[in-house]
Amino acid sequence: MAEGYQVIARRWRPKQFDELVGQEHIVRTLKNAIDNDRIAHAYLFVGPRGTGKTTTARIFAKALNAEGGPSATPDDSTSIAQAIMNGSCMDVIEIDGASNNGVDQVRALREECQYAPAEGRFKIYIIDEVHMLSTAAWNALLKTLEEPPPHVKFIFATTEAHKVLPTVVSRCQRFEFRPIADEKIIGKLKEITKKDGVEIDAAALASVARMADGGMRDAQSILDQLISFCGNKISEQDVLDVYGLASEDTLESLAGALASGDYQKLFALIESIAAEGRDLYRVLQDIQARLRTALVAAIQGGGKTDVGGSTLTSEALTRMLDALQASESAVRQGLSQRVNFEVALLRAVEQSRTRAIDSVINELSSLAAGLPTESGQKKI
């Protein structure tokens, strides 16, 4: 029987440390730990979804159990390396913390720790979504986690580090996985599409990276869906239509209308965006990202910047962003998404035109300092 189709995210899953994208600081630390024989007994991988936590854990497990190792560049052709990467190795146990979060499962794990590994040098437990473990389960594991047998290593992965007990964090080496930069996501997607014979324009790749929000797996899943929908030729318009995004030109015009306070243009753009069936919550997020970029430019440029032909101060941009951020939940969950979206943009315009009371007081104080204090003095 022919093998079934394997999605891009699985086909292109990194198999070596050097193939990991956007996590160079983690790769360097883990490779140095292996080369210098400074391997800890417990690791905590923290970061957003799709940034490589579980993949890194597998590669690290493969490196530790490499033949003749540990080795930072393990041989992928060996049977144990292949077993670890496909999840069938008896010495590398992957556990879903969401469905195995009870104290009984952890007690069983604690008992299994005592047995020596069957094939490799170490018995490695990779626990994903570890923040889902109950407090009782953690208490059952704490002693083992602090002083595990020499042949046991723990690798925990979570997207919500604040939910992990401080007593657990203190027993682990913590690694922060960063959201992957759009440029690096685009570079990887170019490599994939070139290898798979898919034509995709630069604007489409930029839109996919923008949607992925720093997650390589999300970007690859989006690309997979686009290929299914469009075939081997993908344009920016295809991405906008499939995922309800607004184009860069539309976002630029929207930012300009907000900056200038042109209500007629603003409502005309909202009408066009709604008629095209765009995701208004996504548009709200994208316009915030654009204004945030303008805010950074204003701060670097002495307090002012140009937005769509209008000059805005950093204070005005900050107030505008505050208003848009405060409206996020209403746009996302409100009964009338369009009305809430319109109100959010109108509030942003009004907020940008107000002045902070402390800046007004400072300005009046500076003016008052120039007034004459005695009769007959000239006014400055």
CB atoms closer than 10 angstroms to residue 70: 19
- pLDDT tens for residues 203-251? 999 999 988 988 999 999 999 999 998 888 999 888 988 888 888 888 9
Indicate whether 34 pLDDT > 70: yes
pLDDT in tens, 120-172: 889 999 988 888 888 888 888 888 888 888 899 999 999 998 888 888 888 89
Summarize pLDDT for 85-120 with one digit per residue, the tens.
Answer: 888 888 888 888 777 767 778 788 888 888 888 888
pLDDT digits (tens, 9 = 90+) for 53-67: 999 999 999 999 988
Mean pLDDT of the 360-378 span: 65
pTM equals 0.81
pLDDT value of position 1: 39
Residue range 182-243 forms a domain whose CATH class is: mainly alpha
Q: Determine phi and psi for 120, rounding to 5 degrees.
A: -90, -170
Using the predicted structure, report yes or no on whether residue 378 has a pLDDT greater than 60. Answer: no
Q: How far apart are CA 32 and CA 3, in angstroms?
A: 39
CATH code at 8-176: 3.40.50.300
Q: Helix crossing, 263-275 with 280-300: angle to 10°?
A: 140
User: Does residue 2 register a pLDDT over 50?
Assistant: no
pLDDT classification of 375: cutoffs 50, 70, 90: low
Q: What is the mean pLDDT of the chain?
A: 87
The dihedral built from the CA positions of residue 14, 17, 19 and 25, taken in this order, carries a sign that is: positive
Give yes or no on whether 182-243 and 248-360 have one common fold.
no
pLDDT reported for residue 101: 66
Class of domain 248-360: mainly alpha
Return the domain boundaries, the chain.
Answer: 8-176, 182-243, 248-360
How far apart are alpha carbons 254 and 248 in whole angstroms? 10
pLDDT on residue 155: 93
Q: What's the pLDDT tens digit per position in 293-344?
A: 999 999 988 888 888 888 888 888 999 999 999 998 898 887 888 999 999 9
User: Which residue in this structure is represented by tokens 């839109």?
Assistant: 207
- Count other C-beta atoms under 10 Å from residue 107's C-beta: 14
